[in-house]
Amino acid sequence: MTNRTLDPHEPRRVLLVDAAGKERDATSHWLTQRGDCVSTVATTAEANRMTAAQRFDIVVLALEDPAPEALTLITQLRSQNASLPILAICRDASIAAASDAIHTDKCDFLVKPIALDDLESAIRKISRTDAVPNGNKRQTPKPRIRRSVSPIIGKSVAIEVVHQWIDRVAPCEMPVLIEGESGTGKELVASEIHAASRVADRPMITINCAAVPATLLESELFGHEKGSFTGAIATKRGLFEMADGGTLFVDELGELAGDLQAKLLRVLEDGRIRRVGSTCERQVHVRLLAATNKRLADEVRAGRFREDLFYRINVLGTRLPALRERSDDIGLLVAHFLGPGWTLGVGVLPVLERYTWPGNVRQLSNAIERSKVLSAEPGIVSVDDLPPEIVAASGDQRVEIGGDIDLETINRSHVLKVLQQHRGNKAKTARVLGINRRSLYRLLDKYGANQR
C-alpha cells in the first residue's frame, strides 16, 4: 500500500479506526462536514486489510487502554509505508510514551478528552505536506475513472449542483443516500458515482427492494445456506458477497422491513454478513449506494425507518430535483429522446415546458416515444401527436397559473384526470404517468382517492 500526493482540489482521504460506534460515527460525520472523505472500521484487523488494499492520506486510530494490538498496527503501518501519516488518540499519555520508538514527524498522539477542532488541527498539521514514499519519489494519485460524456442530461443550475455533488462524493467510500421522486434518475446518478469512484473497475450490483417479495429480500441481500428454508435447494451467495470490493446499489431503500434495516446497519458498521441459516459470519467490503422516492426523515418521524440507520447512511445524501424544477432542461432532454432524424413541430416545446411532469424524466421519455410511434408526419412530432392529458393539462395551466392554484393542486388534478380517463385502471394510469404502480398508490393515498 502506498499513500498519495495530496491534491488541494480533492478531499483528504481519512481512515478512522474506532471500536466505539457512536464516537466513530460522530467523528466521521464531523470530518465529512468539513470536506474530508472518511472511511471507518471498528478493528485493527479491518484497518490492516483496508490500508493494504487502498490509499489513504492519514490514519486516525482511537486506542483503548491497554492497546497492544493498536501499537502493533502502527508498527506494521510504519514498516509498510514510513510516510503514511498516523494520528493515534489514547486515554493515557503512557501509551504515547511507550511508543517513542516509532514516533516520527508522520506519527503523532493526542490524549483524550479532545475537542473536535483540535482533532482537525492535528490532522491538518500531520498531513499538510505531500507524502513522499520511498524516500524522495512523489507518488502520483490514482486517477479517477470518468465517463467522457455524462449520461445525466441538462445544463440547468439544479443539474450542475448534482454534477458537483457527484464529483465530491464519488472518491469516498462512505454510504450515499439519493432521494428523489420516481423518474428523476436516481439509478443513473448511482451509476455515475460508481463510474467516477475508485472501484469503477469492480462490479456494481443493483437490487430494487420494491420489486422483490419481502420474504425473499433477506436471502437476496445476504444469501442462504442449502436447506435453510423451503425451496433453498442449494447454497446461494447474496448480493453483498457478489459486490465485495465494488458497489451495491439498493433502490427503494424505504421499502426495507425493520429487521432488514437492523442487518443493513450491522453491515455498515463492521462489514460483517451472515447468510440465512448460517452461523458463520463473512467479512465484505462494499460501497453502499441507496435510493428512495420517500423522504426518509419523514419515515423516521413516523417510526417506519430506523433513526440510527438514517443518520448512518445520509451523511453524504442529496435529493435530486424534479423535472418541473429544471424545466430549462426539457429541450435538451427532448432532443436526446427524439434522436437523429426527428424534430418538434411548431408549439410543441412550450406545451412540454408548461407541463408539470409528475412522472419526471421517465414520463417525458415515454411521452416522446409514444409521440414518435403515433406521428402523422414522418420525422416530426406535432402537438396532436402528444398524449392528450399533457396537452389538456398544459392548456389548463396557462389559464390557471396566474391564480391561487399551487403546483401540488395541479399535480393532483392531473393524476386524477388521467386515472379517470383510463376508467380507474391503475396499471394503465401509472404507465401513462411514467411511474410504477406502487408510486401511484402512494399519490392516490396522499390525495385521498385510493380505492384498491
3-state secondary structure of 159: helix
pLDDT value at position 230? 77
Give the separation between CA 30 and CA 100, rounded to whole angstroms. Answer: 30
Long-range contacts of 306-311 (CB under 8 A, 24+ apart): 306/258, 306/261, 306/262, 306/265, 308/265, 309/261, 309/262, 309/264, 309/265, 309/268, 311/25, 311/29
The answer to whether 179 touches 317, Cβ cutoff 8 Å, is yes
Q: What b/e readout covers 378-414, taking b as 16+ CB neighbours within 10 angstroms?
A: eebbebebbbebbbbbbebbeeeeeeeeeeeebbbbb
pLDDT value at position 435? 78
pTM above threshold 0.75: no
Give the separation between CA 329 and CA 391, rounded to whole angstroms. Answer: 19
pLDDT value at position 255? 92
Instruction: Show pLDDT as tens, one digit a residue, over the chain (452 residues).
Output: 444 444 444 677 888 888 777 778 778 877 877 777 888 888 777 877 777 767 788 888 886 654 566 677 777 777 777 678 888 887 665 555 545 544 555 677 777 777 777 787 778 777 654 433 333 333 333 334 444 456 889 999 999 999 999 999 998 888 999 999 999 999 999 999 999 998 888 889 999 998 888 888 988 999 888 877 877 788 888 899 899 889 999 999 999 998 899 999 989 888 888 888 888 888 888 999 999 999 999 999 999 999 999 999 988 899 999 999 999 999 999 999 999 999 999 889 999 999 999 999 999 999 999 999 998 888 999 998 999 889 888 764 433 334 444 556 667 777 887 787 777 888 888 877 777 778 888 888 877 777 65
Q: Which helix (H) or strand (E) holds 419?
A: helix 407-421
Residue 359 grid coordinates: 412522472
Query: Hey, what domains does the chain have and what are their CATH numbers?
Result: 13-126 (3.40.50.2300), 157-319 (3.40.50.300), 325-446 (1.10.8.60)
pLDDT value at position 14? 85
Give the separation between CA 357 and CA 183, rounded to whole angstroms. Answer: 10
pLDDT value at position 128? 58
pLDDT value at position 139? 36
Give the separation between CA 358 and CA 415, rounded to whole angstroms. Answer: 8
pLDDT value at position 13? 82
Give the separation between CA 86 and CA 48, rounded to whole angstroms. Answer: 13
Give the separation between CA 80 and CA 84, rounded to whole angstroms. Answer: 9
- Amino acid identity, position 251: D
Q: Which residues neighbour 10 within 8 Å (Cβ) at sequence distance 6 or greater?
A: 141, 171
Q: Report which of 230, 228, 324 is spatially closest to residue 277, judged by C-alpha positions.
A: 228
Task: Report the relative pairing of strands 236-237 and 223-224 from DSSP bridges.
Answer: antiparallel
